[in-house]
Structure 1
Amino acid sequence: MVSRKITIINPSGLHLRPAGNLCKESLKYKSKIKINFGDKSANAKSVLSVLGVCIKFGDEIEFVCEGTDEEEALEAVCTLADDGFGENE
């Protein structure tokens, strides 16, 4: 199991489009990818689960990956987050 904390840089937080981009990226990996936010957690492979945690700009979340490709999965989702989940293009 590997994990990393990141801060959300999207001005609108994780609304539908960035949550969808996160889900799309997460589905490329076999590992379980979870988001921890406060006392809540979400499955990063489910858009509804991600939207349900109501993550906003400036919030600190933790990605937790567990499985055969956990290192690659963690790197991919953190890189996506650092790039604004595809919204800062």
Structure 2
Amino acid sequence: MLSEKVIIKNPTGLHLRPAGLFCKTAMQFECKILIEKKSRTKEVSANAKSVLSVLGACIKNGDEVTIICDGEDEEAALHVMVQIVEDGLGE
């Protein structure tokens, strides 16, 4: 299991279009991929391969999230998922 923290740079956070791109990218990998967000009151974990799960996490601009990859191709998956977030998810 590998994980890395990244900051969401999108001005509007993970709304439908960037969340869709995030999930479409995650589905290219065999490993389990989660995105976690901690706030002052709770911790939210979302399945990165489910648009509804990612949207339900309410991830906004400036939020620090942890991408967690666990499985056969976890190293490649983590690298690509972190890179796509750092590149702004198409925005």
State the TM bucket, normalised to the shorter chain.
Answer: over 0.9
After superposition, give the CA deviation of every residue in 1:18-45 in whole Å (9 maximum; x if it has no partner): 0000000000000000011111100000
**Identical counterparts, % of pairs:** 55
Can you give the 5+ residue segments of structure 1 that lack an aligned partner in the other structure?
none
In structure 2, the residue matched to 1:27 is 27
Amino acid at match of 1:35: I
Please state how far the C-alpha of 1:86 moved relative to its aligned partner.
Answer: 1.2
SS in 1 for 2:69: strand
TM-score by length of 1: 0.96
* Aligned 1:2-81 pairs, distance under 5 A: 2-38=2-38, 39-81=43-85
Aligned residues: 87
TM-score scaled by structure 2?
0.94
State the superposition RMSD in angstroms. Answer: 0.4
Q: Provide Cα deviations, 1:39-67, integer angstroms capped at 9, x if missing partner.
A: 11000000000000000000000000000
